[in-house]
Structures are given as C-alpha cells and as structure tokens.
C-alpha cells in the first residue's frame, strides 16, 4: 500500500488536487480513474473526486507497479494547484524565475513544467500565460497548447481573470481604498489601479489583501512604496528588512475566472508559504481564509 501523509496546507483541498500535488508525474485521467474505481481511501472510506479533506489525514493508494513508478519519478519539483483539460496552474516559489534569462540562468519554472509534460508524453506543448516577479510566490497559469495559452492571454488582457495578492507593508494605510496612480514600466509611464483592504495590523506593519485592476510590472510594489507603505523585504522600492524574512513579503493568493460563455472557469487558492505564515504568527496577525 502507498500512503500519503497530509499536512495543514491541505486543509479544505479536494482529494484530486492533493493527488496532483503529491504525484505530479501522473496524468490527470489516471488519477481520476483511481478515484472513480474507489482505489483511494482515508480511514477506511473510499474517496471521490470532489471529496474535501481537513488536513493531517493519511491517504491509502493501491501498491501497483505503475503507481509506484509515478511516485518515484525523478522529476523536478512541481506543485500542481489545479489541472483541467486546457490549463495547468502550478506554484512558483519565491526566488525561482519563470523563464531562463541573462540574470537567472539554469533552473526555472517553465523548464520544470515542460519536463513534467514531456515525461507524461502529452500531445501538446505548454507555455506560461503570465508572469510573477522572481521574488513573489504564488500560482502561475500554463496553457495546454497554443489555443489554450492564447485564450488565457486574452482573458488576462480583458481583465476577466481576477488576481488577489497578500502583502505585508510598513506603514499605516487606511482600512481600505483604491490606488490609482502612474507607474514606470521600463521607459514608459502608465496608469495603474489597485484595490486593497487591511486584514490585520501590528504596530507599523499591515497585512493587505490586494486586487489588481490593471497589470503593470511591479505595480503593487511601486504603488505601495509611493503611498508611503513599502512592502517588507522590497529593497528596490524602500521596503525595510524584517527578522526571519529572507524574501519579499508578496504572495499571489488567489486566481479566479468566471467569464460567461468561456471554458476557462476556475478558482485557485495558494496558501501562504511557511516562512510568511511564521512571520504573521509572530506578529499575532490572523492567517486569512480564502474568499
């Protein structure tokens, strides 16, 4: 029997999503087949595709040769947050670039995902539909094939994919509001709009939930800095250091799309990484729940 031990970060997740995270080499159709045949158990109960778990349970799977091979595949680490017939959403940790570039040669998220897809022998190519700064963590959407990637890009350009971030800033922002200012994008000045609300405070630190209303590079970081409350760890825009924080305290928390008439309907929640959760606990700021 193959077992998977769940953790706090699996709380509320569907069992199919959990299996994808722990066995990324397995095709989605194979995992669904295991569930439909009643081959996945927890506490003696067979689980279905939509079963949601509380965290800390142990999953039991059949000890087949194929499943053992999939579990032991020497693949680069890829955490799958959601997979459909058209898209793959994977977690990008802080410090990992999406693409190989002059300043970030070698390991990158796109190469990891392409290695996974090649291992599956999938009949399509995959490409990221958007980017996250190297210092920002959170989900990145990959389209399965050119048509799916182009459709995701169109939805992003049309503002039909909602992006919600969490940022710990230094300062005393109002409880809520909208920042509508100009930001510098390379050699151009462009309008940017960001909606925010405060989820918790500790002295001069405030945890913000942020919704992007436009998609400019470094938008959140520039606008928060210009408003007088830079993001902790953001040395580029004047953010102060914080004991125990080795990165930017900026995390893409949720992505969702509910465009009418489209096949791309999804809601993705990416819990805060452990180091950021520890910072909030130290400050006695409650961890937010998905909305």
pLDDT tens for each residue of 212-223: 998 888 999 999
Q: Give the angle 33-271-72 at the CA atoms, nearest 5°.
A: 45
pLDDT band at 262 (very low <50, low <70, confident <90, very high): low
> In the structure encoding, which two tokens stand for residue 168, read together?
């710990």
At 115-152, the pLDDT tens digits run 988 888 888 999 999 989 999 999 999 999 999 999 99
From the CA atom positions of the chain, what is the Rg in Å?
A: 20
> In the structure encoding, which two tokens stand for residue 171, read together?
């300062």
Give the model's pLDDT for residue 105.
Answer: 60
3-state SS track over the chain = CEEEECCHHHCCCEHHHHHHHHCCCCCHHHHHHHHHCCCCEECCEECCCCCECCCCCEEEECCCHHHHHHHCCCCCCCCEEEECCCEEEEEECCCCCCCCECCECCCCHHHHHHHHHHHHCCCCCEEECCCCCCCCEEEEEEEECHHHHHHHHHHHHCCCEEEEEEEEEECCCCCEEEEEEEEEECCEEEEEEEEEEEEEEECCEEEEEEEECCCCCCHHHHHHHHHCCCECCCHHHCCCCCCCCCCCCEEEEEEEECCCCCCCCEEEECCCCHHHHHHHHHCCCCCCCCC
pLDDT band at 75 (very low <50, low <70, confident <90, very high): confident
pLDDT band at 263 (very low <50, low <70, confident <90, very high): low
Query: How far out from the chain centre does Cα 264 lie?
Result: 17
Residue 276, pLDDT above cutoff 90: yes
For residues 236 and 194, give the distance between their C-alpha atoms in angstroms, rounded to a whole number: 20
At 45-67, the pLDDT tens digits run 999 888 888 878 899 999 999 99
At 211-256, the pLDDT tens digits run 999 888 899 999 999 999 999 999 999 999 998 899 999 999 999 9
At 169-210, the pLDDT tens digits run 999 999 999 999 988 888 888 899 999 999 999 999 999 999
Give the model's pLDDT for residue 55.
Answer: 75
Q: pTM for this structure?
A: 0.79
pLDDT band at 31 (very low <50, low <70, confident <90, very high): very high
Give the contacts of 111 (CB within 8 A, at least 6 positions apart).
76, 100
Give the model's pLDDT for residue 227.
Answer: 96
Contact between residue 255 and residue 144 where contact means Cβ atoms under 8 Å apart? no
Using left for φ > 0, alpha for ψ between -120 and 50, and beta otherwise, residue 54 falls in alpha
For residues 10 and 18, give the distance between their C-alpha atoms in angstroms, rounded to a whole number: 7
Sign of CA dihedral 241, 243, 248, 250: negative
The structural domains of the chain, ordered by start, are: 1-74 (3.10.290.10), 161-282 (3.30.2350.10)
pLDDT band at 44 (very low <50, low <70, confident <90, very high): confident
For residues 91 and 34, give the distance between their C-alpha atoms in angstroms, rounded to a whole number: 24
More confident residue, 107 or 264: 107
Quote the mean pLDDT of the chain.
89
């Amino acid at each position: 029997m193959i077992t998977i031990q769940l953790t706090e970060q699996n709380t509320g997740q569907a069992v199919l999503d959990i299996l994808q995270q722990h066995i990324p080499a397995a095709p989605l159709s194979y995992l669904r087949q295991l569930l439909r045949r009643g081959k996945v158990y927890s506490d003696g109960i067979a689980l279905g595709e939509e079963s949601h778990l509380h965290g800390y349970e142990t999953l039991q799977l059949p000890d087949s040769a194929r499943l053992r091979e999939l579990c032991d595949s020497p693949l680069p680490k890829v955490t799958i947050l959601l997979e459909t017939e058209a898209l793959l959403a994977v977690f990008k940790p802080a410090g990992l670039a999406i693409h190989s570039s002059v300043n970030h040669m070698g390991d990158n998220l796109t190469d990891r995902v392409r290695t996974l897809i090649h291992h599956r022998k999938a009949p399509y190519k995959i490409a990221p539909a958007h980017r996250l700064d190297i210092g920002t963590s959170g989900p990145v959407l990959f389209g399965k094939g050119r048509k799916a990637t182009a459709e995701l890009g169109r939805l992003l350009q049309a503002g039909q994919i909602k992006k919600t971030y969490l940022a710990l800033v230094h300062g005393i922002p109002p409880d809520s509001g909208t920042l509508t200012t100009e930001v510098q994008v390379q050699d151009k000045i462009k309008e940017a709009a960001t909606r925010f609300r405060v989820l918790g405070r500790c002295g001069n630190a405030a945890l913000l939930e942020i919704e992007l209303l436009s998609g400019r590079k470094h938008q959140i970081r520039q606008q928060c800095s210009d408003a007088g409350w830079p993001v902790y760890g953001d040395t580029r825009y004047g953010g102060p250091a914080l004991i125990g924080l080795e990165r930017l305290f900026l995390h893409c928390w949720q992505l969702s799309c509910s465009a009418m008439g489209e096949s791309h309907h999804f809601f993705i929640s990416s819990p805060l990484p452990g180091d950021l959760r520890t910072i909030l606990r130290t400050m006695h700021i409650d961890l937010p729940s998905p909305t």
